[in-house]
A and B are shown apart, each in its own frame.
Chain A
Amino acid sequence: MALNKEFVGRVFGPGEPYEVSRVKIAEFADAIGEPSELCRDKAAAQRAGYPDVIAPPTLAIVIAMASTASMHSEPGLGLDYSMVVHGEESFSHSRPLHAGDVVVATTTVESIRAVGAMSMLVTSTDISTTDGEHVCTAKSTLVERGK
Chain B
Amino acid sequence: MTVKYADVEPGTEIPGKSYRATRLDLVKYCGASGDFNVIHWSERLARSVGLPGVIAHGMYTMAQAGKFVTEWAGDPGAVLEFGVRFSGMVPVPDDDQGATIEVSGKVSEKLGDNKVAVDIVARSGDTKVLTRSRAVVRLP
Contacts and interface: CB of A to CB of B under 8 A. Distances in A.
A30 interface: yes
Interface residues of B, number: 40
Number of chain A interface residues as a range: 35 or more
A27 B30 CA distance: 11
A31 B33 contact: yes
A65 B19 CA distance: 25
Contact of A86 (B34, B70, B86): B86
B5 interface: no
A58 B66 contact: yes
Interface in A58-112: 58, 61-62, 65-66, 81-93, 95-96
B92 interface: no
A58 B28 CA distance: 15
B67 to A, nearest CB: 5
Given A54-B77, A93-B81, A33 B59 contact: no
A4 to B, nearest CB: 21
Nearest to B27: A31
Contact of A30 (B28, B77, B79): B28
B86 A88 contact: yes
Nearest to B80: A93
Contacts of A86: 57-59, 86
A31 B31 contact: yes
A57 B84 CA distance: 13
B62 interface: yes
Contacts of A35: 71
B35 interface: yes
Contacts of A27: 31-32
B59 A58 contact: yes
B112 interface: no
B4 interface: no
B64 A33 contact: yes
A2 to B, nearest CB: 18
A127 interface: no
Contacts of B83: 88-91, 139
Contact of B79 (A31, A57, A82): A57
B50 interface: yes
7 contacts: A28-B32, A32-B63, A56-B67, A85-B86, A88-B83, A89-B58, A90-B84
Given A38-B76, A145-B50, 6 more contacts: A28-B32, A32-B60, A36-B75, A56-B67, A85-B55, A90-B83
Interface of B: 19, 25, 28-29, 31-35, 37-39, 45, 49-50, 55, 57-60, 62-64, 66-67, 70-71, 75-77, 79-86, 89, 132
